[in-house]
Amino acid sequence: MPKGISDKITFKPYDQSQQWLIPPSIDELVPEPHLVRVVSETIDELNLEDILKKYTKGGGASRFHPVMMLKVLIYGYMSGVYSSRHLARACRENVLFMWLAGGQKPDFRTINTFRSEKLNGVIQEVLVTTAKLLEAKGYIKMENYFVDGTKIESASGKYTFVWKKATDTNERRMDDKIRAFVAAINHVSEEENNEYGERDLEELGEQATFTSEDLKTLVSTLNDRLASLEESAENKPVKKKLKKEIKLVEKDFLVRKEKYEQYRKQFNGRNSFSKTDPEATFMRMKEDHMLNGQLKPGYNIQVGCENGFVVGYDIFPNPTDTRTLIPHLENMKKRLGKLPKEIIADAGYGSEENYAYLERENVEATIKYTLWQKEQSRSWKKNQWNTENWKFDEVCDSYECPAGKQLSYSHNRINKTASGFRQNLRIYTCQDCGTCELRSECTRSQEGRSIQRNEAMIRLKQQARERLASDIGKKLMRRRAHEVETVFGQLKANQGFRRFRTRGIDKVSVEWGLLVLGFNMKRLMGIEGK
């Protein structure tokens, strides 16, 4: 054996019961730099007065400090620990959480209460405070605001869907049964009419629809009939029948009608909701890279970013993005006191209403509209049946179709969108379609071809084209692809957050707020190199 080399195997001393001469502090066990230290330092810089206001004065046991609780929650959501029980366990066993908690051990009920109650309604203000801190440090300037949306599944139970179309159908069928029922028992005399009022069973039977109040009136009328009958062998079958009819109305018709009325309130302009999370709407979720999706109860998350930081977000129950931009920006204006100089978004936000709003607010819009991508193709430009390619004569105020026919101005029409926005449309019709050889290719209408022209939208689309075609517009659209998408990719793909743990839009907002606060702190650590 070569000199200096031993043939013995040696191991480092291993003794689990060994004593430390000077026990280390928890701080010594946390590496520096470390993300957990960034979380602690950043939160210490924030103004958390809105959370402190949630606490009321009074006796009883002392409470865990909200700063500590917020640090634990944010770091938990950054680390993929979302359950209150798992967070409580981490405060007992994980040295990083133990350091954040200062050795304190809040139980899962305390953590859950703080998340659902103390942060409810104020988590947005915490994000605003963070945004102001980032602006003070020069990381954001509120100039270029990139907006996009994503859908995340709610914590609803399986097969809890309620569809508006099915509800309307079932309610109509029940109204038909009620109408037939009333007609069958309508034997009210004129004397009874005078006694019980003019609105008798006959009038109820003539209604197209019924309300729960109508059915309560019906029950009251039937009970009055029952009470007016004397106890006799002759009236016994009649009373038995009346009792059966009252039971049918009370236990069946009235219960179902009240349920449908409650459903209508829950829909609130939507086409569906979940029974276990009524504020969640069924929407299509992209399940894999092939974009195969399913209808699941969820929320539409709208996020705005600048320089890779999340500046603002809002939660919406509607599945499309078009009607979310204005309320999102209005909320942002209330929270921050101002709007960004420029909004950058994809075609899902390119509506006349959104363009007009941004123009009124003096905000530059770098937003694609629905047909922007198609307009770039050669086939679109050469398609003769595309009305945007038809010649328009401003002097004669008319269009010329591919067959050389004239479509002259006919009338104006006001179109009202789902949000209440009014569009002024000019309608142009052709009076010479009867003998046209191309009619079968052009239109199926017996009245002939007609088209509509939206002057305001034409002007706004032209502005959008010019902005998108400019060098700065191209640069911003390239940035858009990785500004907000990075947030979604990090939170949904890397951290695996694809389903909320709580129910209700307020609690869901708290969860998402914790996620984006953690994301911002990771981003801050990356920039500052801590």
Q: Which of 253, 274, 295 is the last residue of a domain?
A: 274
Residues with Cβ < 8 Å from 99, sequence gap 6 or more? 26, 27, 29, 30, 36
pLDDT score at 5: 66
Residue 388 inside a domain? The answer is no
Render each residue's pLDDT in the chain as its tens digit; 530 residues: 566 666 778 878 887 787 777 777 888 888 888 899 999 999 998 888 889 888 887 767 788 999 999 999 999 999 999 999 999 999 999 999 999 999 999 999 999 999 999 999 899 999 999 999 999 999 999 999 999 999 999 998 878 899 999 999 999 999 988 888 887 776 544 444 444 444 444 445 455 678 899 899 888 888 888 888 777 777 788 788 888 888 999 999 999 999 999 999 999 889 999 999 999 999 988 766 566 678 899 999 999 999 999 999 999 999 889 999 999 999 999 999 999 999 999 999 999 999 999 999 999 999 999 888 888 888 888 888 888 889 999 989 999 898 888 989 999 999 998 888 999 999 999 988 888 888 888 888 888 899 999 999 999 999 999 999 999 999 999 999 888 889 999 999 888 899 999 999 999 999 999 999 999 999 998 887 65
Q: Are 75 and 95 in contact (CB under 8 A)?
A: no
Report the alpha-carbon distance of residue 428 to residue 397 in Å, rounded.
Answer: 9
Residues 72 and 174 in one domain: no
Three-state secondary structure string covering 114-147: HHHHHCCCCHHHHHHHHHHHHHHCCCCCCCEEEE
DSSP for 380-433 reads: HHH-TT-GGGSEEETTTTEEE-TTS-EEEEEEEEEEE-TTS-EEEEEEEEES--
pLDDT score at 22: 75
Residue 62 inside a domain? The answer is yes
What is the extent of the structural domain holding 101? Answer: 26-119
Residues 101 and 170 in one domain: no
Residue 313 inside a domain? The answer is no
**Which amino acid is located at 314 in the chain?**
D
Q: How many structural domains are present in the chain?
A: 2
Residue 440 inside a domain? The answer is no
Which is it for strands 406-416 and 422-430: parallel, antiparallel or unpaired?
antiparallel
Q: Which of 244, 274, 304 is the last residue of a domain?
A: 274
pLDDT score at 188: 44
Residues with Cβ < 8 Å from 232, sequence gap 6 or more? none
Q: For the whole model, what pTM was predicted?
A: 0.85
Residues 166 and 270 in one domain: yes
Residues 67 and 166 in one domain: no
pLDDT score at 488: 92
Q: Which of 229, 256, 274 is the last residue of a domain?
A: 274
Residue 394 inside a domain? The answer is no
Q: How far is CA 240 from each of CA 136, 245, 251, 268, rounded to the nearest angstrom?
A: 80, 9, 16, 42
Residue 213 inside a domain? The answer is yes
Residues 65 and 167 in one domain: no
Backbone φ/ψ region at 450: left (φ over 0), alpha (ψ -120 to 50), beta: beta
Residues 264 and 168 in one domain: yes
Residues 205 and 108 in one domain: no
Report the alpha-carbon distance of residue 48 to residue 55 in Å, rounded.
Answer: 12
Residue 71 inside a domain? The answer is yes
List the one residue out of 255, 171, 177 whose CA is nearest residue 212: 255
pLDDT score at 310: 95
pLDDT score at 317: 93
Q: List the Cα angle 186/192/198 in 5-degree steps.
A: 80
Residue 442 inside a domain? The answer is no
pLDDT score at 232: 73
Token pair for 443: 């239109």
